[in-house]
Amino acid sequence: MISEQAKQRMRDLASRYPVARSAVMPALYIAQQEEGYLTQEGLQAVAEAIGLTVNDVESVATFYTMYYQQPQGKKQIKVCNSISCYLRGCDRLVEHLEERLGIKPGETTPDGNYTLRTVECLASCGTAPVLQVNDEFVENVTPEMLDALLDEWDRELKASSVGVQFVAPDEAEASTRNR
């Protein structure tokens, strides 16, 4: 469901830019935030707010890798595998994650908790190897760190699935950032 509030934000964006069409990318982010990925309803809402056809909006959405066409795991792990991270052993991290999560890059665990991805250079080569979890950086990663993080996320996800807030989302984000 795309909320009325989200639709209003999209319309506000359309009037913020010199040309309404320029708001299509930020509006797609809003739609994605609402539902976790881009649904037909999300594309429709963007199209209506901006005054484009759904096909037109979809053609933009499918060009960019950060707009998702499928549901994503609650924790999206993106491991950089470009040259600087490669030189610093990122392949070991990917192998480690594959083993521990039992999935290949591009896949989501059956419980919907984790999506694993290998991505292009994340502009953090000085602290390679790096990964992002839900858009927040984790730098200078070692396999041991990965284990500790995964344990923490497992606990967090388990707690939230039984309705108990284990860590406030903001705190969880901050602890990831400061690591």
Partner 1 sequence: MPELIVTKDIDALGLDTLEGYRQHGGYEALEKALREYQPDELVELVKKSGLRGRGGAGFPTGLKWSFLAKNEKTRYLCCNCDESEPGTFKDRMLMEKNPHQLVEGVILTSYACRVSVAFIYVRGELAHAARQVQRAIEEAYAAGYIGKNILGSGFDLDVIMHRGAGAYICGEESALMESLEGRRGYPRLKPPFPAAIGLYGGPTVINNCETLFTIPAIVRNGADWYASFGTEKSKGTRVFCLSGHVKRPGNYELPLGTPLRTLIYDEQYGGGILGDKQIKAIIPGGSSTPMLGPDKLDTPLDFEAIAAAGSMLGSGGVVVISEDTCIVDAVLRMSDFYRDESCGKCTPCREGTFWMTEILHRLEHGEGREKDIDLLLDICDNISGKSFCPLGDAATSPVASSIKLFREEYEYHVREKRCMVERETTHKVPLHAGEV
105 binds partner 1 (CB under 8 A): no
Residue 102 CB, shortest distance to partner 1, in Å, is: 23
Mark 67-83 as b/e (b = at least 16 C-beta within 10 Å): beeeebbbbbbbbbbbe
Work out which of 17, 104, 155, 175 binds partner 1, going by CB under 8 A. Answer: 17
Q: Which is nearer to partner 1, 68 or 166 (CB)?
A: 68
Residue 94 CB, shortest distance to partner 1, in Å, is: 12
Q: Tokens 């041991």, residue?
A: 144
State how far the Cα of 169 lies from the Cα of 156, in Å rounded to an integer: 10
Q: Which residues contact 23 (CB under 8 A, 6 or more apart)?
A: 10, 13, 14, 16, 17, 49, 50
* Interface contacts to partner 1, rule CB under 8 A: 16-19, 21-26, 28-29, 50, 59-60, 63-67, 78, 81-84, 86-89, 91-92, 119-129, 132, 135-137, 140, 142, 177
